[in-house]
Amino acid sequence: MCDLCVMNAVKDRLLSRRDLFRSASAAGAGALLGASAAPAVALGASSGQMADMTHVLDENFPTFSNKSTFHLKQRSRFEKVGFNTKEIVVNEHSGTHIDAPLHFSADGASVDEIPVERLIVPLAVIDIRAKAAENADSQLTPDDLKCWTDTHGPFPKGCCVAMNSGWAAHVNTPRFRNADWGGTLHFPGFHVEAVQMLLEEGDDIAGIAVDTLSLDIGPSPDFPTHCAWLPTGRWGLECIANLDQVPHAGATLIVGAPKFKGGTGGPSRVFTLF
């Protein structure tokens, strides 16, 4: 663990609004919703580098059900009317997408109610690729969080904590779902104790992100991480791409979340500056 921390440090040097922030996030609501004149968080300085953290979404993108949840239909053709238009039919939770608090709560904030200050945030990337390569059901644990803070210091105020399990490399293969003979999926995710630690000790963490299909591990029957995290007014990102292209600390994450009224989430264009 300590050797990994050292290696990561060296690599980095080289390279509802009504209820949105109730309970665990109540203390931060006033500052965020009233911060129109100044940034809510301290963003990292950019050297001009950027990375697209979004997978291309098409009808073949992997899903929990193994059935397509995205369809793009041609409605107008240039050769006939002088312009092209297409109609999108999509499940909110398809491709690289955001989970809004409403996804796992009765009356949490919908995706259109997430303040923009919560969508442009510092990024902390935690690398668990080594153990994920050995065990598909590996989880990001409190020990992994501590390893990151031992190397980089406290998590930045209002940041997103992202899990890099290396799973994005499998996106166009059956390995991404990794279903066993009984249909149970197997891929990494956040351990519920890790998100509880972020809620208790983190400085108003805005969101968490994973490079897999779910914030929870694949075989989870009851989604404890979703249940612990989203109802506190925070968001999650699933199926994020290219975490290996950004530093473990110091980048700024920009989440282009959709503004679907009453939506529980939606496909998003996500990128970083560093």
What is this structure's pTM?
Answer: 0.85
- Report pLDDT for 164: 99
Q: What are the pLDDT digits (tens) for 235-260?
A: 999 999 999 999 999 999 999 999 99
Of 266, 259, 264, give the one whose Cα is nearest residue 230. 264
Query: What is the pLDDT averaged over residues 26-34?
Result: 38
- Report pLDDT for 40: 54
Q: How many domains are contained in the chain? A: 1
Query: What is the pLDDT averaged over residues 3-10?
Result: 41
Strand runs (DSSP E) across 30-119, as ranges? 50-52, 70-76, 85-90, 97-99
Residues near 140 by Cβ (< 8 Å), separated by ≥ 6? Answer: 126, 128, 163, 165, 188, 189, 190, 191, 194
- Report pLDDT for 16: 36
Per-residue confidence band for 67, with pLDDT thresholds at 50, 70 and 90: very high
User: Would you say residue 44 has pLDDT above 80?
Assistant: no
Query: What is the pLDDT averaged over residues 19-37?
Result: 38
Query: What is the pLDDT averaged over residues 86-101?
Result: 98
Amino acid at 134: E
What's the farthest any 2 CA atoms get from each other in the chain? 64
Query: What is the pLDDT averaged over residues 52-81?
Result: 97
Which percentage of the chain shows pLDDT scores above 70?
Answer: 85
User: Would you say residue 263 has pLDDT above 90?
Assistant: yes
- Report pLDDT for 45: 72
Query: What is the pLDDT averaged over residues 29-35?
Result: 37
What is the overall mean pLDDT for the chain? Answer: 89
Domain range enclosing 56: 2-273
- Strand 160-164 with 120-127, pairing: parallel
Residues near 93 by Cβ (< 8 Å), separated by ≥ 6? Answer: 69, 99, 103, 238, 264, 265
User: Would you say residue 12 has pLDDT above 70?
Assistant: no
Each as own residue / partner, the long-range contacts of residues 54-58 (CB below 8 Å, 24 or more positions apart, any chain) are: 54/95, 54/96, 54/240, 54/241, 54/268, 54/269, 54/270, 54/271, 55/95, 55/96, 55/168, 55/171, 55/239, 55/241, 56/95, 57/90, 57/94, 57/95, 57/96, 57/267
User: Would you say residue 61 has pLDDT above 70?
Assistant: yes
User: Would you say residue 205 has pLDDT above 90?
Assistant: yes
Which percentage of the chain shows pLDDT scores above 90?
Answer: 81
CATH of the domain at 34: 3.50.30.50
User: Would you say residue 163 has pLDDT above 50?
Assistant: yes
- Report pLDDT for 9: 42
Specify the 3-state DSSP secondary structure of 71: strand
User: Would you say residue 114 has pLDDT above 80?
Assistant: yes
